């Protein structure tokens, strides 16, 4: 089932390239059908998933290169299933947003489907090598989407995006090679079990005769893996590729970058760092918390200083993922109450999903706005749009307030649970981080004030409001925001098994 899901978009992309190179209509219809089929499959998985059973479900295991510990191993837990559904939704949203794409549409749509395959593979693979291939594979379509369809500075932004992520990936690769040399395992589940039973440090001591104690080697490996995910998420100060990439990418691609790809980093924290490096994470907890706080606070301030709407929302995206990092780092200690850890991690998962949805929707609105303004998107380029395009303003307003964390919309339950869990676990970090909540309100309301309020900018007097089909396309996204805001159990009910398992990782005492 998971394999079908993973390779379905890939097949779709190949079909487009093979059969529909010339025709935009057939390309986009094929792309849409394949993305829809993926979503249906993801929802079927969701429906068949047993949330109270711990461990991986829908597992598939085939030998690949047994002597090297490499296998084709896929499976999902609550986190995986959540990521699959989110990716499928975000890809559909992005396709809907780029429906009118005119420049080489068939290649564009094929690349989006390739990217979707990369995402599905990343979120299901349980063997490092297998996982790493998809992790890198998703980067390539993303690079070309930015490089070929982006704005004026796309070359530089795409190169920076690619190389920066590459550096992180290489750190990851090296760390896992070392782990393999020490333990002979590439499988995430095996490695996590070894870590649980405290066998990683002895293996390092036996098999890696490097300078330094086994503990410090493990710590070094931890930081290397962390770097890989910190670049991807991103965590301040490894985030500088992001504003440029998000701003230069076409907004439809930015939807994918922020809605789905940025989640790969957080996914890595949860799938790899927490289970495999619990002791190392606990040791590094204080600096990690500082980084998390910086990731929340600095971008929130920086967002207010931006003049380009896409850069504003790009920083906002960093800020929102910062809450995820905060929740994860706060949990990384063996002391502390299991209730609070469960709250923080559940909040993180809610936040992942809801940020993916909201951020994708926001960049969709930007795409719609750019199409109407001929590419202009400065915060000062507009004014009084609410009068001219009331439906657009109203719906984007909903997305903005969802991003701001208004109760009743999808952003609130996650942020509340993160703060609920983090406050007792890392009081100082939570207390500083509320500054981020404040600044989010400041800059988002500034956007509303400058773009939608005030006297009408005469230049846009004739801007058309959302068409019927645009409204229909946006409706499911907006409805989902309300649904999750009012009934978060929809998601929290799926992930409590996974959450309980992480909490167990950190409650049975450390093996030092």
Applying CB under 8 A, among 340, 368, 429, 474 the residue interacting with another protein is 340
Nearest to 8 by CA among 112, 132, 84, 113: 113
Q: From the CB of 441, what's the least distance to another protein, in Å?
A: 5
Q: Which is nearer to another protein, 31 or 474 (CB)?
A: 474
Q: Is residue 301 involved in binding another protein (CB under 8 A)? A: yes
Residues 6+ apart with CB under 8 A from 107: 17, 148
Strand-pairing partners, residue 125, are: 74
Q: Which of residues 476-495 bind another protein (CB under 8 A)?
A: 487-489, 492-493
The tokens describing 41, both together, are 């499959």
Applying CB under 8 A, among 53, 216, 431, 467 the residue interacting with another protein is 431
Q: Is residue 446 involved in binding another protein (CB under 8 A)? A: yes
Q: Is residue 453 involved in binding another protein (CB under 8 A)? A: yes
Long-range contacts formed by 104-107: CB under 8 A, 24+ apart = 104/148, 105/24, 105/27, 105/28, 106/16, 106/17, 106/20, 106/21, 106/22, 106/23, 106/24, 106/27, 107/17, 107/148
Q: Which is nearer to another protein, 35 or 244 (CB)?
A: 244
Q: From the CB of 346, what's the least distance to another protein, in Å?
A: 4
Q: Which of these ranges, 87-95, 120-128, 374-382, 450-458, lies near another protein under the rule CB under 8 A?
A: 450-458
* Residues 83, 134: Cα–Cα separation, whole Å: 15
Q: From the CB of 62, what's the least distance to another protein, in Å?
A: 26
Q: Is residue 471 involved in binding another protein (CB under 8 A)? A: no
Nearest to 9 by CA among 37, 51, 28, 29: 37
Q: Is residue 442 involved in binding another protein (CB under 8 A)? A: yes
DSSP string, 390-447: HHHHHHHHHHHHHHHT-TTSTHHHHHHHHHHHHHHHSHHHHHHHHHHHHHHHHHHHHH
Q: Which of residues 59-118 bind another protein (CB under 8 A)?
A: none
Q: How many residues bind another protein (CB under 8 A)?
A: 83
Q: Which is nearer to another protein, 37 or 174 (CB)?
A: 174
Q: Which is nearer to another protein, 248 or 340 (CB)?
A: 340
Applying CB under 8 A, among 408, 428, 467, 475 the residue interacting with another protein is 408
The tokens describing 485, both together, are 């805001």
The tokens describing 406, both together, are 């208004």
For 229, half-sphere exposure in the C-beta direction (CA atoms, 13 angstrom radius) is 27
Q: Is residue 419 involved in binding another protein (CB under 8 A)? A: yes
Q: From the CB of 38, what's the least distance to another protein, in Å?
A: 27
Q: Is residue 499 involved in binding another protein (CB under 8 A)? A: yes
Q: From the CB of 1, what's the least distance to another protein, in Å?
A: 26
Alpha-carbon torsion angle 352, 303, 432, 161, nearest 10: 50
Applying CB under 8 A, among 141, 243, 275, 322 the residue interacting with another protein is 243
Whether omega for the bond prior to residue 237 falls within 30 degrees of 0, making it cis, is yes
Q: From the CB of 390, what's the least distance to another protein, in Å?
A: 8
Q: Is residue 215 involved in binding another protein (CB under 8 A)? A: no
């Amino acid at each position: 089932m998971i394999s079908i899901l993973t390779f379905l978009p890939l097949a779709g992309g190949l079909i487009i390239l093979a059969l529909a190179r010339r025709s935009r209509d057939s390309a986009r219809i094929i792309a849409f059908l394949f993305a829809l089929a993926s979503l249906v499959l993801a929802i079927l998985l969701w429906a068949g998933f047993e949330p109270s059973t711990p461990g991986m479900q829908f597992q598939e295991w085939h030998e690949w290169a047994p002597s090297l510990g490499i296998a084709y191993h896929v499976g999902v837990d609550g986190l995986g299933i959540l990521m699959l559904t989110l990716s499928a939704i975000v890809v559909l949203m992005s396709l809907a947003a780029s429906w009118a794409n005119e420049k080489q549409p068939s290649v564009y749509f094929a690349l989006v489907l390739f990217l979707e395959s990369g995402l599905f593979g990343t979120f299901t693979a349980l063997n490092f090598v297998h996982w790493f291939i998809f992790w890198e594979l998703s980067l390539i379509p993303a690079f070309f989407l930015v490089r070929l369809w982006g704005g004026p500075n796309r070359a530089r932004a795409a190169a920076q995006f690619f190389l920066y992520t590459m550096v992180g990936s290489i750190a990851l690769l090296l760390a896992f090679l070392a782990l393999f040399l020490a333990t002979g395992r590439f499988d995430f589940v095996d490695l996590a079990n070894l870590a649980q039973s405290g066998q990683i440090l002895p293996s390092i001591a036996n098999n890696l005769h490097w300078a330094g104690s086994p503990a410090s080697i493990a710590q070094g490996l931890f930081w290397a893996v962390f770097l890989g995910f910190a670049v991807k998420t991103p965590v301040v100060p490894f985030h500088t590729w992001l504003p440029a990439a998000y701003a230069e990418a076409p907004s439809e691609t930015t939807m994918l970058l922020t809605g789905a790809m940025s989640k790969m980093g957080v996914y890595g924290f949860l799938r790899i760092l927490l289970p495999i490096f619990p002791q190392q994470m606990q040791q590094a907890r204080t600096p990690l918390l500082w980084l998390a706080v910086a990731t929340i606070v600095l971008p929130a301030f920086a967002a207010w200083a931006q003049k380009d709407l896409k850069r504003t929302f790009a920083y906002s995206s960093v800020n929102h993922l910062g809450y995820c990092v905060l929740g994860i780092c706060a949990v990384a200690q063996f002391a502390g109450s299991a209730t609070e850890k469960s709250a923080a991690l559940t909040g993180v998962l809610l936040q992942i999903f809801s940020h993916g949805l909201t951020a994708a929707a926001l960049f969709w609105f930007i795409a719609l706005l750019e199409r109407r303004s001929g590419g202009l998107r400065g915060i000062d380029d507009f004014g009084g749009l609410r009068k001219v395009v009331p439906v657009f303003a109203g719906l984007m307003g909903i997305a903005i307030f969802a991003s701001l964390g208004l109760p009743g919309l999808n952003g609130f339950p996650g942020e509340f649970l993160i703060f609920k869990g983090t406050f007792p676990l890392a009081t100082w970090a939570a207390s500083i981080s509320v500054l981020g909540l404040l600044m989010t309100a400041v800059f988002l309301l500034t956007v509303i004030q400058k773009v939608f309020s005030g006297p009408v900018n005469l230049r846009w007097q004739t801007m058309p409001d959302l068409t019927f089909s645009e409204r229909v396309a946006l409706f499911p996204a907006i409805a989902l925001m309300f649904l999750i805001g009012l009934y978060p159990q929809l998601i929290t009910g799926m992930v409590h098994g996974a959450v309980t398992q992480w909490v167990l990782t950190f409650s049975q005492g450390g093996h030092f």
